[in-house]
Copies of this chain bind each other. A is one copy, B any other.
Amino acid sequence: MSVRTTAVSRNPLNRGRTVVGRARVRLSEFSESSPSRFAILIFAGLILLFTALFSLPIASADGKATGLADSLFTAVSVICVTGLATVDMATHWSVFGHVLIYVGVQIGALGVLTLASILGLAVSRKLGLRARLIAASDTNPLRMHHGPVAEGQAVRLGEIGSLLATVAISAFVIEVVLAALLFPRMLLDGIDVGTAVWHSFYYSAMAFTNTGFAPNADGLAPFADDYFFLTILMIGVFLGSIGFPVIYALSRSLGAWKARRKAKGRTIANRVRWSVHVKLTLVTSALLIVAGAALYIVLEFDNPKTFGTLGASDTVFQSFFLSVMTRSGGFSTIDIPDLNGSSLLVTDMLMFIGGGSASTAGGIKVTTLAVLFLAAFAEARGVQDMESFGRRIPSDVLRLGVSVVLWGATTVAVSSIIILQISKAPLDHVLFDVISAFATSGLTTGLTASLPDAGVYVMAATMFMGRVGTVTLAAALAASQRQQLYKRPEERPIVG
């Protein structure tokens, strides 16, 4: 105890001797000692608060209190930016309810971006914000001092505030730009100014936060042929889904490029080097978008219920739209149950993979998938190290990735078995909605809305585990490094 007290008294936050000052110190201590548990508590607290708010009569359009199952599910879906619903989101809620939804997804998205960035930094190096996050080194002798982990351990509350501000400003700028692009289009479509402002900000938020709710009762249907509108949504969803570290790198590159243009080649010093994380995320995302779109084209071009009636270019555009949206956006111009079973399975896989780390997207994350394949490639080439873009990736990253995938597969399996047993619904619909919940995709076959309360609670738990679990798991695991005092004799079991 005396060691801890000494550590606290060195903490610059420990200056105030008021009650608030002491509370801040306590909070700071907790967030330092266990950032993952801190994140879980923040999310759980937000969900409880929003459950209470959504259950108020003032939140619903008909002025009646919403039941626990529906208000809890909506709160989880909003805070986890999942986008699934057990009620008709556009018509069930009052104006106050819609403001709750709007504010909730912003809080949820900023919370995820901030926490995931902080926790992610605990296991990553050379990201843009690293310098800001390097702080006093960890003095716990049981923890190994190989740089990155110790860094993450030492993230202080004040730095969380600073990172939160950076994240919030980025999100604000992106959402305002997206809304400004959507607004004139809505006016041209004959929507009145007030509604157009509200709807353009709403759609912009729902795109960047990767939530996928629509403010209007008929959803995306009026815009299904409006490729400008859909393209803006795609850009918003893509930016939200690649993750804050990548957005940060891209914006720094943009700044450096502008500075170089201004300097007219007099200097080439300020070129920004992209980290392996940034390159892996962008390349894997691009490959998945193209592969997904290609598969949708092949599997759906002759399906009369989906793209069968469209021309070639429309089929290609809608396939790309679907491919971008499945991995977490959750917007859809078609009815999901109309897809062929083959396309549903492709969508299951894309949703499970999800978006970038420290993003508003869910799933196991594209870099996790990439690391698994890099391991297999290294194995096939017979080389000892995983390599990517001229860098060696340490083997403990693979172990983290395997842990995340096992967590995801186990969550989806357990949830699917329970929902199958509760609903006796067909596997294609159950697997789809469970993976959509786990990966916070928000696309649905319609099953979620028809589940009994028991199923609704299971789905809510699945969304929570998918969102908070994957974000905190890797960090919690990475933070628990201990020095081993001895090596046991080596032995190889046969695998495969």
Chain A positions near chain B (C-beta within 8 angstroms): 120-121, 123-127, 148, 243, 245, 275-277, 280-281, 295, 299, 340-342, 344-346, 349, 357-358, 364-365, 367-368, 370-373, 375-376, 378-385, 387-388, 390-404, 406-407, 413, 416-418, 420-421, 424-428, 430-431, 470-471, 473-475, 477-482, 484, 487-496
**Which residue on chain B has the smallest CB distance to residue A427?**
B428
Q: For the complex, give the distance between the alpha carbons of A301 and B470 in Å.
A: 34
Return chain B residues, CB-CB under 8 Å to A470: 496
Contact A393 to B124, CB < 8 A, known contacts A341-B420, A342-B417, A373-B406: no
Q: Are the CB atoms of A341 and B427 closer together than 8 Å?
A: yes
Q: Are the CB atoms of B496 and A365 closer together than 8 Å?
A: yes
Q: Are the CB atoms of B393 and A493 closer together than 8 Å?
A: yes
Q: Are the CB atoms of B477 and A379 closer together than 8 Å?
A: yes
Cβ distance A169 to chain B, nearest Cβ, rounded Å: 22
Q: Are the CB atoms of B427 and A431 closer together than 8 Å?
A: yes
Q: Are the CB atoms of B345 and A416 closer together than 8 Å?
A: yes
Q: Are the CB atoms of B496 and A401 closer together than 8 Å?
A: yes
Q: Are the CB atoms of A345 and B399 closer together than 8 Å?
A: no
Contact A495 to B357, CB < 8 A, known contacts A402-B376, A427-B426: yes
Return chain B residues, CB-CB under 8 Å to A281: 493
- The contact of A376 among B275, B381, B403, by CB within 8 Å, is B403
Q: For the complex, give the distance between the alpha carbons of A294 and B160 in Å.
A: 46
Apart from A280-B493, A346-B417, A398-B399: 16 A-B pairs, beta carbons within 8 A: A281-B493, A295-B417, A340-B424, A345-B427, A371-B495, A372-B402, A375-B402, A376-B403, A380-B477, A380-B480, A384-B484, A391-B490, A393-B490, A395-B395, A401-B495, A474-B495
Q: Are the CB atoms of A421 and B340 closer together than 8 Å?
A: yes
Return chain B residues, CB-CB under 8 Å to A384: 396, 481, 484
Q: Are the CB atoms of A365 and B482 closer together than 8 Å?
A: no
Return chain B residues, CB-CB under 8 Å to A295: 417
- The contact of A381 among B416, B474, B482, by CB within 8 Å, is B482
Q: For the complex, give the distance between the alpha carbons of A399 and B398 in Å.
A: 8
Q: For the complex, give the distance between the alpha carbons of A492 and B402 in Å.
A: 15
Q: For the complex, give the distance between the alpha carbons of A421 and B295 in Å.
A: 11
- The contact of A494 among B277, B344, B391, by CB within 8 Å, is B277
- The contact of A420 among B342, B381, B390, by CB within 8 Å, is B342
**Which residue on chain B has the smallest CB distance to residue A413?**
B349
Q: Are the CB atoms of B420 and A493 closer together than 8 Å?
A: no
**Which residue on chain B has the smallest CB distance to residue A126?**
B491
Return chain B residues, CB-CB under 8 Å to A376: 399, 402-403, 406-407
Return chain B residues, CB-CB under 8 Å to A390: 488-489
Q: Are the CB atoms of A392 and B357 closer together than 8 Å?
A: no
Q: Are the CB atoms of B120 and A489 closer together than 8 Å?
A: no
**Which residue on chain B has the smallest CB distance to residue A148?**
B492
Q: Are the CB atoms of B421 and A399 closer together than 8 Å?
A: no
Cβ distance A117 to chain B, nearest Cβ, rounded Å: 9
- The contact of A417 among B299, B371, B417, by CB within 8 Å, is B299
7 pairs across A/B with beta carbons < 8 Å?
A341-B420, A357-B495, A376-B399, A379-B400, A392-B489, A426-B426, A471-B496
Top-5 shortest CB links A-B = A474-B496, A382-B480, A427-B428, A404-B496, A357-B494
- The contact of A276 among B379, B420, B478, B491, by CB within 8 Å, is B491
Q: Are the CB atoms of B392 and A487 closer together than 8 Å?
A: yes
Q: For the complex, give the distance between the alpha carbons of A394 and B394 in Å.
A: 14
Contact A344 to B400, CB < 8 A, known contacts A477-B380, A484-B384: no
Q: Are the CB atoms of A372 and B341 closer together than 8 Å?
A: no
Return chain B residues, CB-CB under 8 Å to A397: 492-493, 495
Contact A495 to B382, CB < 8 A, known contacts A299-B421, A395-B395: no
- The contact of A124 among B344, B379, B427, B494, by CB within 8 Å, is B494
Q: Are the CB atoms of A404 and B495 closer together than 8 Å?
A: yes
- The contact of A385 among B344, B420, B488, by CB within 8 Å, is B488
Contact A124 to B493, CB < 8 A, known contacts A379-B400, A427-B426, A480-B382: yes
Most chain B beta-carbon neighbours within 10 Å: one of A367, A396, A473, A494: A494
Contact A381 to B424, CB < 8 A, known contacts A402-B376, A473-B496: no
Return chain B residues, CB-CB under 8 Å to A418: 342
Contact A375 to B399, CB < 8 A, known contacts A345-B427, A430-B341, A493-B124: yes
Return chain B residues, CB-CB under 8 Å to A368: 495-496
Return chain B residues, CB-CB under 8 Å to A473: 496
